[in-house]
Amino acid sequence: MEVAYRCLAGETQLNDDDGKPRALVFSFSYLAEQAGAQPVDAASRPVTFMFNGGPGSASLWLHMGVFGPRRIVLPGDASHPGGAPYTVADNELCNLDLTDIVFIDPPGTGYSRMAGGVAPEEAWGLEADAQLVADFIKAWLTAHRRWAAPRFLCGESYGTTRAVAVAGKLSGGLAGVAFNGIGLISVILDFHTARFQTGNPLPDACFLPTYAATALHHGLVAAPQGGRDAFLREVRQFATAEYLPALFAGNRLDGEARARVRRKLARYTGLSEAWLERTRLRIEAGRFRKEMLRERGLTVGRFDSRYTGADFDDVGEQPDSDPSSYAIDSAFVSAMNDHLTRALAVDWDRPYTVFNRTALEKWDWHDGRKGQPTGWPGYVNVAPVLGQLLRENPSLRVLMANGLYDIATPFFAVESTIAGNGIDAARVRMTYHEAGHMMYLHEPSFAALVDDLRGLIAG
């Protein structure tokens, strides 16, 4: 279906309470225009706000990878695309026929920055970042006269954390911006599920089904008679009922029970029992990526474990890098900058910041939970905010899209988060895709993900 549209690429100035400039937020607004005899009803037409995560990442991944009107096309089999030129094509599945789309680069990413002498660090934190994005959304709705429109949020990776935090900011305190739906792609809401630390066995259990899916993909474990889905259900059950209790028991676990757990871990992951015994039955993600294909001289990707790479040597404990990252970085950065300079004719002389590592290193993770003193040690968990949003907005719809081969934000961690944070699972649509963190790199998953979001918006 052909859609006439225009793109507004530019800054929105956000002021402080005294009316002084505080931040300049760059965004890309793709707006459908009247075509033929069918006028665009701006009052009833949905608008979807999108961003990536990091924290410290610009929105180019969702923009050029899946939801923009132009997208980069890369090999779907997890092979390296090589050097330029890369294929950028019209996105025939783009949802612009259904919704206007606004890609947001939070301050410190893209062209966005703090203004008026405000230090950039003042934007780098869960609370500050969410508030700035919330302020931008209100300013955008006012500038474009779209307060009557149905509204949707969509974030990827840390962008899922941001999406829930932003929705929380906009739903309370008479902010008046209730959302019709929230799309969460490669979800992480409770960081306790993904932080491997001594004394915290939860990530080991939460990552195990993804390890099993990876082992099955690379042929290290035999395909079970009931198929992959039955296999992963079995691994989930083991992780909950046997593996997590065994890790919690620690040296209280008797020898027979330890051997039983070790045998099952080896059967599910393809890792040797001897190696598992040396790790005290714990499987940290980096170690897994290095160990699983060590005999083949390969490591597997963090963002997508279908990807493989070669390290300097095969002796180390951790991979040198992430083959699922370095395989695609050049293609996405090239496509984004080409889109900016040639298609959109943005001729600014400052660079477009794809990823701000300083922002990540200085990020303030304090989440302002009630009763938690400033500086109190802990971890980010915005899942209770999502539970509250669902309780207070009976029409809110939530999509959670997951990649089976994602070792950054694994799918079982998300399922466990839903189970324990007051979230009504019946109102969350979970989808699973044959790819990793950026599931749109796999062509069938790309189409399915676009359709996932279309279903969320269309209701």
Superfamily of domain 5-192+328-458, CATH level 4 = Alpha/Beta hydrolase fold, catalytic domain (3.40.50.1820)
Alpha-helical runs (H) found in 21-64:
60-62
For residue 222, what is the DSSP state? P
Residue 366: what pLDDT? 83
**CA quadruple 241, 242, 247, 251: dihedral sign:** positive
Q: Where in the chain is the domain with CATH 3.40.50.1820?
A: 5-192+328-458
- Report cis status (omega within 30 of 0) of the bond before 85: yes
What span, in angstroms and rounded, lies between the C-alpha atoms of 369 and 379? Answer: 11
Residue 377: what pLDDT? 60
Can you tell me whether residue 47 is helix, strand or coil? Answer: strand
CA dist 32 → 25, 72, 94, 141, 239 (Å): 22, 21, 12, 16, 47
Each of the 459 residues of the chain gets a pLDDT tens digit; together they read 788 999 999 999 999 999 999 999 999 999 998 755 455 777 889 999 999 999 999 999 999 999 999 999 999 999 999 999 999 999 999 999 999 999 999 999 999 999 989 999 999 999 999 999 999 999 999 999 999 999 999 999 999 999 999 999 999 777 889 999 999 999 999 999 999 999 999 999 999 999 999 999 999 998 788 899 999 999 999 999 999 999 999 999 999 999 999 999 999 999 999 999 999 999 999 999 999 999 999 999 999 999 999 999 999 999 999 999 999 999 999 999 999 999 999 988 899 999 999 999 999 998 766 556 666 667 899 999 999 999 999 999 999 999 999 999 999 999 999 999 999 999 999 999 999 999 999 999 999 999 999 999 998
Contact 151, 49 (CB under 8 A): yes
pTM, rounded to two decimals:
0.95
Residue 261: what pLDDT? 98
CA dist 376 → 174, 366, 417 (Å): 29, 8, 22
